[in-house]
Amino acid sequence: MRNRHKFTFIICCAIADMIAMILGTILFLKFASEERIGWNALFLDKMIPITILSWLFAVTYFQLYKVDVLFNLETFFRNSWRAFFTQRILWHSYIFIFQDDVLHFFKSRANLFQLSFLLLYFLLSRILFTVIIEKIKGWVFKRYTVAIWGFNKTSIELASHLESNSFFIHFVGILNENSAAQYKNNEQFSAALIEAIHNASEEKIDELYIVSKPDFISDLNYFFELGDKYCMRLKFVPDFSSISKKHFNSGNLNNFHVIKPRFEPLQNAYNRLIKRIFDIAFSLLVIIFILSWLYPLLAILIKKQSKGPVLFKQMRTGKKNEPFWCYKFRSMYTDVGDENEQAKREDARITPIGKFLRRTSLDEMPQFFNVLMGKMSVVGPRPHMIKHTSDYNGHINNFMVRHFVKPGITGLAQISGLRGETKKVSDMKRRVTTDIHYLQRWNLITDIKICLLTVIVTLKGDKNAF
């Protein structure tokens, strides 16, 4: 019953979405034929096939209609909007390539009505889907019942996960949550589990998650066979909460259960590819449209105020603790003190133009060349000098975690008010914690938000920029 209703819901969603995309294109073609715009005939003839293909690509890429064991409504809605905007980008890219008068197209009524129709559909349809999915439980005559046996930290987290995603299942909770029994050996545990499986079958449980310490799981085959006799699916979940109090991430490598200290989205090759494409595209736009005229202008001002090169290069720590040359517009006089010393407020080494460059972060602009060469990313933890990396690594246990990804021109720490001089180890600890949070929560939308917020913070003025 669980899968039948789930498949029905997903298929109905897929059909409704495809019909809406086609209707939106038909609406576009209707208004386009009434407007006095020189539409390309070949362009119009291919609109519906392009709509279908671009939508299929978007939903496939974001796995919008993926049927998981547990259905997460929030993920479904998030992927719905991701797929919609991706389809719009692909569709408009096609127009940009084959339609001559692109400016008139974006101003056309046809485009406006189509976009309004699709936005209204996705908004109303997702509200309707929410109502339907909440009502499904009441429509199901025999619900697929799931429970947990074993009361510990892991089972509580699992219960919370099942409860928040139980749209197509009936989750009854932790069966022995009120029990204070403590098992001293495997025999006591096995006897209690046999009784629990029998009681669960009496309560018509279809699927039972057994959460226990690995030491107590000795003969899985016996318990699986016992579950089969009761026509009940058993699933064992090892409780590793006693190993570490910190949050860790676990997964599977073929038949091996793997425990990792944290979840890292950029370990996925596709995510790294997406980030690299964004880095290349963003850095090329900056180099072509900004640095092409800003570089010679600043070069003249820098050379006029002090002797020395236009660019300042310094060895910094990069990804995997590998050093690289980091480029900046020179903002200090040459041969004045130790270059490994952090800049301070009212630092005498800084030139007049250097004060402006540092306050506006324009001194960092040449690092887009570092991005283009693959040594840095647009967004990521800021790279430190080799000496500072060595010093802080001795005081902060997880300091080197920030070097699992490429360093960035800007980052989450920088827009959170944690840039600039670090006078105390506690200041660096806060920055490292923020960098690790970024590493664990990365996605492309986050990178775009950080870029936008960096511009806003720079325009408003950052008190730590000096």
Tokens matching residue 184: 């001293």
C-alpha span between 173 and 170 (Å, rounded): 9
pLDDT in tens, 205-252: 999 999 988 877 777 888 999 999 988 999 988 887 766 655 677 777
Tell me the CA distances in angstroms from 104 to 79, 108, 115, one per residue in order. 31, 6, 15
Region 66-82 average pLDDT: 80
Q: Which pLDDT score, from 0 to 100, does residue 397 have? A: 84
Are 233 and 227 in contact, with CB atoms under 8 Å apart?
Answer: yes
Taking only the tens place, the pLDDT of each residue in 382-391 is: 999 998 888 8
Question: 39-63: string of b/e by CB count within 10 Å (b at 16+)?
Answer: beeebeeebeebbeebbeebbeebe
Is pLDDT of 294 > 90? Answer: yes
| Highest mean pLDDT pick, 88-92, 217-221, 238-242, 290-294 | 290-294
Q: For residue range 341-358, what is the model confidence (pLDDT) as tens digits?
A: 666 666 778 888 988 998
pLDDT at 139: 65
Are residues 194 and 164 in contact, defined by beta-carbon separation less than 8 angstroms? no
Burial class (CB in 10 A: 0-12, 13-18, 19+), 355: middle
Mean pLDDT (the chain, rounded): 84
What is the pLDDT at residue 462?
A: 67
pLDDT digits (tens, 9 = 90+) for 417-432: 887 666 677 888 899 9
User: How large is the average pLDDT for residues 263-267?
Assistant: 90
pLDDT at 91: 84
Q: How far apart are CA 371 and CA 433, in angstroms?
A: 24
| pTM of this structure | 0.65
pLDDT of amino acid 409: 96
Which residue has tokens 């990069």? 318
Q: Quickly state the pLDDT bin for 132 (edges 50, 70, 90).
A: confident
Q: Which of 66-70, 228-232, 456-460 has the lowest mean pLDDT?
A: 66-70
Say yes or no to pLDDT of 443 above 60.
yes
Q: Are 241 and 156 contacting, i.e. CB atoms less than 8 angstroms apart?
A: no
Mean of pLDDT values over 198-203: 92
The answer to whether residue 122 scores a pLDDT higher than 80 is yes
Q: For residues 378 and 246, which has the higher predicted lDDT (pLDDT)? A: 378
Mean pLDDT for 148-167 is 85
The DSSP line for 66-109 is ---SS--HHHHHHHHHHHHHHHHHHHHHHHHHH-S-HHHHHHSH
Q: Is the pLDDT of residue 338 over 60?
A: no
Q: Which residues have a Cβ under 8 Å from the Cβ of 411 and sit 6 or more positions away?
A: 379, 380, 381, 382, 434, 435, 438, 450
Chain-centroid distance, C-alpha 12: 28
Calculate the CA dihedral of residues 172, 175, 179, 182 and round it to 10 degrees: -140
The H-or-E segment that residue 456 falls in is: helix 444-460
* Per-residue pLDDT, 339: 57
If DSSP states are collapsed to H, E and C, what string results for 139-207? HCCCCCEEEEECCCHHHHHHHHHHHHCCCCCEEEEECCCCCCCCCCCHHHHHHHHHHHHHHHHHCCCCE
Q: Which domains does the chain have, with CATH numbers?
A: 2-139 (no CATH), 145-261 (3.40.50), 269-460 (no CATH)
